[in-house]
Each structure stands twice: as structure tokens, then as C-alpha cells.
Chain A
Amino acid sequence: MTVSPDVEPDREKVFHTLVEVITEILPAVPADRVSGHLRLADLGADSVDRVEIVMGVLDRLGLDAPMAAFATVPDLDAMADLLTDLLTRPLADPPREGSKP
């Protein structure tokens, strides 16, 4: 896969922001334990923690996106990819579950 140089740093920043939020919500989890192939549940996050983490990272990144899109991400890498994708999409057309494509 070819990644353009000005996109990859954004994705890294997004993942870093995700790690920051996770370690704030789950203070017992050290940052170096958070790796992309894990799910939030693997880190001990219960359903309310998962809600708080998704809300927190959307807020931190200034995104107004439906949470429903995050219900099916398989791991943290996929979550960071989705967040990066949302950041690079035009703001005027956010995907809203339930609306027609």
C-alpha cells in the first residue's frame, strides 16, 4: 500500500491522540501496552469506558461524527484509520447512519 507522506503523520497523530484518551479513561493501562491489534475490551474497557473513549477522541479531534460507525471497528488500528478518514473527509457531508448514502 502506498501512503502519501502528508497523510501518514496525521494517522500517527490520530493514533497518539487515541492512546492519550485511552490512558486517561483507563489510568491503569500504560501507554506502551496500547497496540493497534488490540480491541478496547482487551485493555479492560467496559461499555461505559468504550463510550467515554469514543466520545473523548471525537471531541479531542474536533469531529462531529456518529458513534454508530465505531460499533463495528475490529481493533484500535481500524479505529485510528476510521478517525483519520473522517478527518480528511469534507465536513459538509458527514456520514450519518440512517440517512441514505
Chain B
Amino acid sequence: MTDTVGIEALNVYCGTASITVPALFAARGLDPARMANLAMTARSVALPCEDPVTHAVNAARPLLAAIGPEAAARIEVLVTSTESGIDYSKSVASYVHEHLGLSPRCRVVEVKQACYAATAALQLGAGYLASGISPDAKVLVIATDVALVDQDAYYTEPAMGTGAAAVLLSTEPHVLTLDPGAFGLHSFQTLDSARPGPTFDIADSDRSLFAYLDCLSNSFRAYTERVEGADFAETFDYLAFHTPFAGMVRAAHRKMTREFAKDRLAAVDDDFAARVAPALVYPAQVGNLCSGSVYLALASLLDNGDVADGARVGLYSYGSGCAAEFFSGVADADSAAAVGRMRIREQLDARVELEFAEYGDLLPANRLCLVPDPDRRVDVDDHRAILDRYGLRRDLLLYTGTKDYGRTYEWATAGEGSNPWPTS
């Protein structure tokens, strides 16, 4: 048994394109007064030549290049977490395993529990590593999803992102050392949001947001029952939450302060700015990444907060349906350096800012991404104009269609800027 388990490396892929929230509000005729509570600045947009497999591979590949082939060969478990399944039987993970070139001696599996599933996989993977039954093993969890929203989603459209978060777990946790045994759970059945088919979502916003908040209070309460002396105001230097939209996390922080630190209510805005806002910088520029959202929030705080002297981070993961977990870990200067090497800020800044007309042209084809057609051809060259405008130069796996229900992919080079990972 070992107590030192956690996240060794973390990278995200949030697309090559985005649209600003003000541009989307203006074009859709949404009420600009509601932008303040949404607290989002942009949403990432996929191209029709992208899917959950390409997102996952494009998030994980730079991370694997950074650790090198010898360390990558120690990955014994690959888990993809998605609510954007491509088949009832065949997993996203099977294609990801191939295109990442992982060892054939690797467990390959996909998990689903809406926006929570990656955290379930992380905890199960951490337990496997902590058991010590396979010393020096690594577990790769990749949360990957595509958005299906259009004008029918109203105010949810500007809040939905697209992309993936790759989380490498091991007994060398450079990014976040998990606090062993420090977690609290809360789950119950509710139909707050769901994806009943490959082209649409259903959602009841009040049911979902209220369940998110109830689960936050209850999972934190469960955490305090496992962690003696845990205190919402004092225990955590930073908080990184699943972010349906940044304004929701602000409301969640207010609720927690009212319930668990009432004497701090007068200074709630200062506390939010100090402990929560660093984790919202990237989510506000990307949109909801589904089960990758809390790990995008973690990357955001490590890039935008100050953990140099050591910092305990409280994390909250919520998935509709619903399942939730509050857990924690410790970061330090090594964490900031490890995530900094992934150059996530530069990746986000390199996205092509789409005009609304370009954006509107992409949506109908994007909604076909998960439809199980036996044969479909997606021509990468149709999207070359956008790929060429990407602000960094990097290789991307792209989706080229399906043949006899099997998905086809090709590698291509995007952008004309500099390579973000010149040493990898």
C-alpha cells in the first residue's frame, strides 16, 4: 500500500475555434442583461472533422510525449469518460488506445455518469494504484465530450464547451497529491439532464442547478465526516468546482459560505476572488467540458493561482442523474510547473475566433458527429481554412468519417504559429 497517489500530468484540448459570448448573444437575440450571471466570455467550438476520439487523443498526446515512451508504457489502465458515446458497445477508449499507441497490456474501458464519470474513474484508478498490486503502474483517465447545442438551447448554448481533459494518475503525483481517504459522496436518481439520443440533450435547468447545489452541501458534509476538523473556510487554499457556467460556481460558493462559514458572509466576494476565481479563468473561456470540467478548473487554478508554497485544493465533481463527490488534494510549485509545460493558456489563445456566420455553418454538421451512419465521408479540407488560422503549430488527429460503421481518422498539421511543445 502507498498513500502517495494522485495526478502526475494534466493536459486539456479545447478545440481550434471559439466564439465570444457577446457575439453569440447578439446574433441569437438573447437578453444582454443575463450575461453578468452567466459570467462566460467565450465557448469552444468543434469542427465537423472532430469527435470525442480526436478530442481525447489531442488532449493526451502532448502529455504522453512529455513523459516519454518508457513512462507511457507503464500505463496499465485507459479509461475514457464520456456522455458522447459513439456506439452502444464499442468504446471511445478503443480508438484512443490505438491512436495513442498504448501498450496492448492495458485495461481499456469507457465510463458514463454524465459530468461526474471522470472523477469516479480517477478515484477507482487511485485505489488501484494505492493498493500496490502493480508497482509503478500508471492510469490514464480522459474525459472527452462534444456539444450538440444550437439556438434551441437558448442560454445553455453560450455555456457549453467541447474538448477533453487528460489526467494521468500515478504514484509520482507532480500535479496533485490526493488526500487519501478524504472524500464525500452524494447521489440520488433525478432526471435533471440527459442525452436520450445522438443528436439532442434534454435539461430541466432548475432541477439540475438545485441538485448540483444540494449535492455540493451534502457531499461536503459527508467529507467532513471522514476528515476530522475539515472546515470550508479554513481547510482549502483554493476551490475547483465542476463548472456548468462560471456564474453557477459563484452562486455555489455563496451557498457554501452561508451554510458552513456564515461569519465570513460579509467578505464572501473577497473570498470568491481569492479562492475560487483562479479556477474559473479557463472554464469561462471554454464552456462546460462535461466530466472534464473540474479538471479544466484545476488546470486553471494551477496556472492562475499561487501554489508555490503548497496549497490544499477542494474539488467538487457533479454529474446529472445524479452523482457527486467532494474531494481534495495538495499542490505545490512542482504542480504549477508541470501544468505550465502544457501551455494551456497559449492553446486557448490560439483558437480561431469565429464570426457568427462561420459558427452557424459548422453546427448542422457537428450535430451529426455521434449519429451511427454506416458510411460517411468528412472532408478535412472543407475546414482547412479554420485549421490554418489556428495560432499554434501542432499535429491533430482528425475524424474523416465512417466506413462500415468503423470510424476513420488521419493526422494533420494545424496552424502556422510556433510549436507549443518544442522539446517533446
Contact A68 B214 (CB under 8 A): yes
Taking CB atoms, residues of chain B closer than 8 Å to A59 are 258
Within 8 A of A (CB), among B149-170: 155
Taking CB atoms, residues of chain A closer than 8 Å to B218 are 96
- Cα A46 to Cα B25 with chains together (Å): 15
Chain A residue nearest in CB terms to B247: A48
Contact A55 B186 (CB under 8 A): no
- Cα A63 to Cα B422 with chains together (Å): 57
Cβ 8 A contact of A48, one of B187, B188, B190, B248: B248
Contact B251 A51 (CB under 8 A): yes
Taking CB atoms, residues of chain A closer than 8 Å to B424 are none
With A52-B251, A66-B214: A71-B258 Cβ-Cβ less than 8 Å: no
How many A-B pairs have beta carbons closer than 8 Å: the answer is 63
Chain B facing A: main interface SS: helix
Cβ 8 A contact of A67, one of B34, B214, B247: B214
With A47-B205, A52-B251, A55-B255: A67-B213 Cβ-Cβ less than 8 Å: yes
Q: Does B209 sit within 8 A of A, measured CB to CB?
A: yes
Contact A47 B206 (CB under 8 A): yes
- Cα A52 to Cα B155 with chains together (Å): 18
Contact B251 A98 (CB under 8 A): no
- Cα A40 to Cα B301 with chains together (Å): 34
**What are 28 A-B pairs at a CB distance below 8 A?**
A46-B34, A47-B37, A47-B205, A48-B37, A48-B38, A48-B248, A48-B250, A48-B251, A50-B206, A51-B209, A51-B248, A51-B251, A52-B251, A55-B255, A55-B258, A59-B258, A67-B213, A67-B214, A68-B210, A68-B211, A70-B206, A70-B210, A71-B204, A71-B210, A96-B218, A98-B187, A98-B188, A99-B188
